Structure 1
Amino acid sequence: MKCMVVDDEPFALALTKQYIAQTPSLQLCGDFTNPYKALAHLQATPVDLLLLDINMPGLSGLQLLASLPVAPMVIFTTAYAEFGAESYEYNAIDYLLKPINYPRFLRAVNKAIAAATPRLQTAPPAPEIIVKSGSRIHKIPTDTIYYIEAAGNYMRFHTASAKILSLLNMQELLTLLPAQDFIRIHKSYVVALKHISVFEKNQVEVNGTELPVGLTFRQQFRERMCQK
């Protein structure tokens, strides 16, 4: 996905560029501290995704976006929370409040990837999510995930090819996964519906592994399975 960064703060710009370099699905096609130069570049060279600061001298990020005849997808970045409501009038993919950490940046990028899939000329055969494991970044096709289990402050992805440990909490995990394909069955487990081979009141079997269905989740799980 081709992207561009506009931020009048050099440190913030450098950090966003670092995050982009760590993310295999992103290709940096320009970075600017001057919003007027950024606008001229965008008018000549469109991109798929714009990472845009809001509060800039002379021309704000919102004004820049309004000046484009055809706007790309945009993720706003700002140190000011009060711009949040106004930014969503521009159909922003996400709104990142500085200082931005990498897991939060990845969540926003995953939203953009999901939104862009119908728009890109070549879409992947299956949706993918991007997760960080130590110093490595993994692109995981969601149809290869059997289940995910909580492991302390981490989530362990059990996939067709590997087990991947990533620093995520349960809420962050559920945000990444396509809700129509996955269901939480226990405080520690989320499973892929398509890989459930046997299910009972208290447990399921996924890829030959038996997993418990927690009492809190049984009613929702039973209703979901009856819809299939």
Structure 2
Amino acid sequence: MTSLSETLLKARENQTIAQISEDDLPRDHIQAYACSLAQMEEIGAWKIGGANPWSRSVFDNREVFFGPLHPREIFLEDDHLPLEGLVAPLAEPEVMLEIGDPRSDCMAERFVRMALGFEIPATVLPECLKPQFMAQISDRGGAGAVWISAIQPFDEDLLAHGFEIQLSKNAAAPVRGSSDNVINGPLGAAEEFFRLAPKYDMPVAAGQWIASGGLCPALPVVSGDTLELEAWGQVLRLRFS
């Protein structure tokens, strides 16, 4: 899948839609994840897709999928995020989990910190291929960026009991969401990722972050937009430039 990897990389570099068709797609998950990994030099985070009802209504998937992100695509504890270089970006509030010991079965050892943030999907797939499962996996799950804020020690109880959120864009009426929107919750989605990653030879390592799935549907964003996320007794604001 070298040619497909190069085509997707070039499309992101040029901020254009990749000129590919269904005939260019891998025929199985192994090839698709290999295509995704071939686009990486270093992995700083993973994004989980297909983890909520609205995603599954599109992809008709029964297990999550995932994609790697470059360290340069990760933004920590800042109040703005540049959209330059991203094609038709969206923003989706998610729980972020920092990996401690990926081999441990103990949650408190497997995850060392957690945070709130936004996953910014920015696929370069043509419109006709966006619903295609193999296309999404090949395109790193539609990766674009992640914004991570409100970083704190891992608290399994908070995540296990669930929580509500409110999201507004440019001071509009807020949209409500919940950790219950992630199938089996953020921890359940992350656990499914840990189960699948070795199957596809993914280099999961300490210090990487996991964006665990959308708490409410994604919103389109452009430069100048501001998002306000209320959760965990905090109000987080992110401005796009």
With the length of structure 2 as denominator, give the TM-score of the two structures: 0.25
Which structure has the larger Rg over C-alpha atoms? 1
With the length of structure 1 as denominator, give the TM-score of the two structures: 0.26
* Higher-RCO chain (CA-CA 8 Å, sequence separation at least 6): 2
